[in-house]
Amino acid sequence: MKLIVGLGNPGGKYAGHRHNAGFMAVDAIARRHGFGPWRRRFSGEVAEGRLTGEKALLLKPLTYMNESGRAVAQAARFFKLSAEDVIVLHDELDLPPGRMRVKTGGGHAGHNGLRSIISHIGPDFHRVRIGIGHPGDKALVHSFVLHDFSRQERELVEPLIEAIAAHAPLLAAGEFATFANKVHLEVGE
């Protein structure tokens, strides 16, 4: 079983924010692959389904970004999953909108959601980094991530989100390089 976590902040006022790219991605996976209904569990919302025969649980922590690790740890403990069974989809300032990178392990690079997850389960989980761009000034980052994508950014990010959803079975199968290649080919990166 794989635990696929989308990072974001709960509530309608945050729905289109750059910081909610992870929520957007797991919502797209759920729609595309016919996952069950979202229900509250593990301090979050979960949907169960299968990705090419592999059982998967999608999780959107409702703890707000800074406490995401609490929800991830609850679900991982319940299903007796190791960090290697966890895949986190999150916004990434260091990539332009419409770009994506896959990484295993590492630090948090200032991302509070990753910092929280690392403090609860360690650093050895997989990450799908969804580019949102950078405002150019570190002092502007907080405001930047808590605002909606511009129309031009959405035109780049939405096809990426759909490509991630289309190729999510490769994530569940642990075929990270193939997943990244197929997504990059689809979005023309």
CATH fold for the domain made of 2-187: Rossmann fold (3.40.50)
- Residues 126 and 86: beta-carbon distance below 8 Å: yes
- Residues 101 and 91: beta-carbon distance below 8 Å: no
Catalytic residue among 17, 19, 90, 111: 19
Can you give the pTM of this predicted structure?
0.95
Render each residue's pLDDT in the chain as its tens digit; 189 residues. Answer: 999 999 999 988 899 999 999 999 999 999 999 999 999 999 999 999 999 888 999 999 999 889 999 999 999 999 999 999 999 999 999 999 999 999 999 988 888 999 999 999 999 999 999 999 999 898 999 899 999 999 999 999 999 999 999 999 999 999 999 999 999 999 986
Rounded distance, CA 67 to CA 161, Å?
24
CA-wise closest residue to 8 among 29, 34, 26: 26
pLDDT at 189: 67
8-state DSSP, 148: B
pLDDT at 134: 93
8-state DSSP, 150: P
167 is catalytic: no
Residue 33 tokens, joined: 């692959």
Residue 49 tokens, joined: 């389904």
**17, burial (CB in 10 Å: exposed 0-12, middle 13-18, buried 19+):** buried
pLDDT at 103: 95
